[in-house]
Every structure is written in structure tokens, then in C-alpha cells.
Amino acid sequence: MDDLNDDEVLIVRRLPYMARSLPITIRSDFCLKTQKLLGTLPPQCGMFLRMPLLKHLSGELHLVNNDVIAEMIFEAITKKMVCSKLNRMDLDVVSSCLSSWKSDQERVEAFYKILAPVLNAAFEVWDVKTVNFKMARYNVDKIVNYITQMYVRCWKTASNPPFVLTALLKGLKQNLSIKENYVTISHLQLAIECFEILLKVDGNELDEDDILEDNTLDIAKMCVRLFCDDLNSYGHHIWKLFYHALQKTLDAFWMTKRTQHKISNCMLDLSKDLSADLDVLVHILVLELNFYKVDDIFGIFGSDDSCIDDDGREQLLDRIKMHPSCEVKANHSKLVLSHISDSDYKEFLYNVHHDYS
């Protein structure tokens, strides 16, 4: 395989595209043999691997044997987990390993058979101090966010809880330190619980925004409960990380700013029944959640003012400013003086860099 003539190059280029046209009875065997063949190509032929073979089977992976897919995923994804960033194509392949199956049971089985080994490979080197040792953390974070987003997008048409997300959360908690990986794990926890709240609603005839607005109190109760539990478990300093996890979740469900402001007001109402310390921290959390301005793109493409809701934001901030606590007032003044109100939300991300120490 060191030298390929023009005809051989043409054949190799066409191999991945042939999979869809083959009978189901031989498709699995063909995919496996093709994957092995592509893996034997010399480095100068790396162009053939720009699009994983699995990408050509998107939406039809349920027709291929799980063992075959697992081996193909190992070649296409697992080997990259600790050496380079997963790109959008890689993440599409990962998500298709779940979305192709029709039933929840099949998706859970596919998760444990195909994707769990990918994550386990990253967990094994999680704390190993080698070159690019943070790459595994970055890629796991990307996979978790991508799969979470995949489920969140279809919450209105779902009929069952997100069992795959629950299995994913269980795996993260069993293998990783929650405190050291707080944002990723908490974002997933918040998304699952929010999903389950919305799943209880019989709102087939309602708009998604209306359903979200009608359930702001239940969502606020869930947020306050998880927030207080984590403050008690990990200390009060964890509030800033919870802020990032919660903001990612609210944005993942495409909640309008008006809906987010209603949730925030409900959280402030609920904080009255908490201890003085927790009441202060809830106010600081809500202050941070609502101080940044929404991106201009929402104002351009939004259907109405609910996407921005500047009036609701100002009323909420005025309410927080009236809190008697000096700590709340100080945080409000700090944000005003630093002009954070004129900047967009900056998402918490893992920093990936070369570490040769």
C-alpha cells in the first residue's frame, strides 16, 4: 500500500460511499473490512480519512452490528481523544451512534456498547501528566455538551425521560471528581431535571416558549434546590461554577430572556425561605445570570421583544439592588463598575494547552 496508482486511488475514495448501497446482510462486514483497509494506508494517503466511514452511514447505524460500529468508533474517535480536538464531523458521528436507534432501550445499549468505551479511554488518562493531557478533558466536555444538546433540542416531542443522559451522568460521577469537573456534570444534571419537568407537561398544542414560561416556578424550584445542595456539599465558593452550568442549561433550551427573567424572579421569591447566607448567594447568582446582555443576533432574528426583554432585566436588577445585604450591594456595584453589562456571556471552557512539565 506504499504506492497507489490512479485506479487504486479512485477505488479507495469510493469505498466509504459504497456502504449505503449494499444489502444489509453484508453491510457490517463491508464496513469493518473497509475501515481496516483505510487504517493501513500510508501517511501520505491520510486524505482518505478526512471523513470517517461512519459519517456515510449517518442515520443508518442501527442497520450495522454494534460490535462493528464499536470497532470503527475506536479507530475514528477513541484514538483521537487524547491527541487532538474532536471536530464537528467527529461529534456528528458520536451523536449518530445514539440518534440512529429508534427505541430508548436500543439507545442505552448502544451507549454502553459503543460510546462508554470512548469515555472510559479518556477517563484512564484523565490525571496523567503528559503532553496534551488536558485534551481528553476537553473532548469529553465537548461530547457531553453535544449529546446533551441533541436531546434538549427534541424535548417537546419526547415521551420518555432521557435515559442515555442519565447513564452518561452516572458514568461521569463514577469516574470523575465532581468538584473538579463541576460545570460539565452540573450542566448535565440541570439539563436532565429540566427535561423531566417539561416532560410532565401535556402541551402538544402549545408553543415551546409558552410551555417554558408556564413552568418557570418548577424550574426555579429545581435550580434553587440543586444550588443549595451543592453549596452545602462543596462550599459557598462553588456558586460561580454553578452560574456557568445553569446559564449553559438555560441557553441550551433556547429560553428567551423574558423566560429566564421570570425564572430568576421566582428564584428570588423562593430565597426568602432560606437561611440568610443562602438568600444572599441566590441573589448574587441571579445578579450574575442577568447582568450580561443578550447577543444582538437574538434581536435580529427574534420573533418579539421577549428574546431581549431589556425592561424585565432592568426591573430584576433594581430588585436585587434593593436587597439589604452589603455583600449583594457590593457585587452589584462591582458589576456596574466593570461594565460587564455591556459584554456578552463568556462560556466556561476547559483550557487546552501544551504542558511539558
pLDDT in tens, 86-132: 988 888 888 888 887 878 888 899 899 989 999 998 998 888 777 66
pLDDT band at 356 (very low <50, low <70, confident <90, very high): very low
Cα separation of the two ends of the chain: 39
32 near 71, Cβ under 8 Å? Answer: yes
112: left (phi > 0), else alpha (psi -120 to 50), else beta? alpha
Within 8 A by CB and 6+ apart from 235, the residues are none
pLDDT band at 354 (very low <50, low <70, confident <90, very high): very low
75 near 111, Cβ under 8 Å? Answer: no
Domain positions in the chain: 14-176, 189-357
Task: Kindly report the pTM of this predicted structure.
Answer: 0.83
Three-class DSSP category at 18: helix
Give me the chain's average pLDDT, please: 82
Q: Nine-digit cell at 90?
A: 467527529
Helices 310-321 and 257-271: crossing angle in degrees, nearest 10, is: 20
Query: C-alpha 228: how far from its chain's center?
Result: 23
Handedness of CA 221, 224, 230, 232 (dihedral sign): negative
- Phi and psi at residue 344, to the nearest 5°: -85, 165
The DSSP line for 202-271 is --TTS-HHHHHHHTHHHHHHHHHHHHHHHHHHH-GGGHHHHHHHHHHHHHHTT--HHHHHHHHHHHHHHH
pLDDT band at 77 (very low <50, low <70, confident <90, very high): confident
Residues 45 and 313: their CA atoms lie apart, in Å, by: 55
Length, in residues, of the chain: 357
137 near 127, Cβ under 8 Å? Answer: no
The DSSP line for 280-343 is HHHHHHHHHHHHSPPPHHHHHH-SSGGGT-HHHHHHHHHHHHT-S-HHHHHHHHHHHHTTGGGS
Lowest mean pLDDT among 174-178, 290-294, 347-351: 347-351
